[in-house]
Chain A
């Protein structure tokens, strides 16, 4: 700590240069925060996926429907504990910009399958009693200021009612929370029986979007998946069964290989920062050759000189990193609010925040090491001549 004043004063020597370098590091870390949040939003669900859950969809594509009757057959397959289904409703509340997911489900089966969804028991009881009842996640309820007892009209872009109207009305009977921050609390779930009975008879009645099944032993999941697909082989609706995580990943990959894109951008950004900061430090050491000679003359060892230069470059990058990550922490919740419909899981994860802090230290060490070695190799007598 006693050297901090010296390190700090050296950093302040060229205020404009230090500020510009600091600013570029700050921007890089804000971008890091943004990309980490995007990645979280698109593939974060994979980490939250249940290891014991498989998703069964139509072999051709997710938009092809499967018969509701498959449920009973699935539950008879050895290794399957529970099966339940969902269907993409594709509804719009007031404005297409207000996007959030709404799916018809079988309430008790659905909640049994997804213990990460927390719904008070009295609200579940109400849901079971109310045919038009729906439960909504905390995020969406807060967003539209919905409360229990509200009646919410939603226009479906896919499903018409028997009378030809596309306006569906739901009674909010429950507001659920997620077990942890990574759980998406934007969707609205309503009862399948209401949906199936109300939709036009010739437009998919008795058909569902996809199934989620729970297996008895996650280690046997691949075997069970095979059995499920074999069960429906050569039928009019053949299936493709995969782990829930892989299903979510495949969903995200429709946009592209997110992890690769994010990593590529980050590598480019940090490589540039590496050059910018490295140049700043190299210049700083070059300009200070004589002063480093004086420090050596009065007894600073080579190790101490290396430490001083590394500490200076780390101070610069950590300062930029902390400011950038701090700013990202302030900006991301605002963006999350704006993107909550489109990217419900958009948030800056603590894990990535810590990775960012670690990265700022590594950046400091990497950018400082060559100038530090250059300073270490200086011969005192030569350095003093350059003062």
Chain B
């Protein structure tokens, strides 16, 4: 985790990024000359209306997509220039993802879902299971390890999703609307958990959300509209 961190300056640097999607003959400019810096240990909320480019920005920071122009640095790595193979390896080492719809494998138990990122490491099965136990304990689901996703509540499934995101102890935790599919109570529990991960475990978290209640839990909120960032809510 520490190898990708810069000793000086922010952990994430997005510099002059454009992102253009091509739909038929039409070019859709989603992000335009966007720059953002996220210091290590920050819990950043990214807000904005639908189609403002929040998820696109998150994908660029997480190495799931590449900018049309500009650069993305995480720690000392300029990730927009890595090959597909290197980028996949980089993601496995440095990024944990939490998705709105949990995105768990329905055929695997909770612990096997959490184990998935560890399959890409050289850990033995015993070591992997030890990491899984720890991650499940952090999210408070030690008693549900052998359950399949369909037997878990939405909140529990999201906790498993978070356990999967943190099991490799990544540099960065990227959450795309983590409470978007949950009721208020379960949503609050997830936000409590994310806050705890940030405050107690020092995780750098970037969270995309529509929900002001969720963004209030972050240490900083930035707003995205028409491909541009601002520190003020969009009117």
Hey, which bits of chain A sit against chain B, CB under 8 A? 2-3, 5-6, 9-10, 12-13, 290-291, 293-304, 379-381, 384, 387
Contact = CB atoms under 8 A, between A and B. Distances in A.
A300 B88 contact: yes
Contacts of B107: 9-10, 12-13
B127 to A, nearest CB: 11
Contacts of A296: 64, 88
A304 to B, nearest CB: 8
B112 A297 contact: no
Given A300-B92, A381-B59, 9 more contacts: A2-B119, A6-B112, A9-B107, A10-B107, A293-B103, A295-B116, A297-B64, A298-B116, A387-B101
Interface of B: 55-56, 59, 62, 64-65, 84-85, 88-93, 97, 99, 101, 103, 105-108, 112, 116-117, 119-120, 125, 164
Contact of A294 (B84, B89, B103): B103
B92 A298 contact: yes
B56 to A, nearest CB: 8
B85 A301 contact: yes
A299 B88 contact: yes
Contact of A299 (B55, B93, B103, B112): B93
Nearest to B108: A9
Chain B interface, DSSP helix/strand/loop, else mixed: helix
A298 B97 contact: yes
Contacts of A299: 88-93, 117, 120
Nearest to A290: B103
Contacts of A384: 64, 99, 103
Contacts of B84: 301-302
A387 B149 CA distance: 15
A384 B119 CA distance: 20
A303 B86 CA distance: 12
Given A6-B119, A299-B88, A299-B89, A380 B65 contact: yes
Nearest to A3: B119
B93 A298 contact: no
A10 B112 CA distance: 13
Given A298-B91, A384-B99, A387-B99, A2 B125 contact: yes
A373 to B, nearest CB: 14
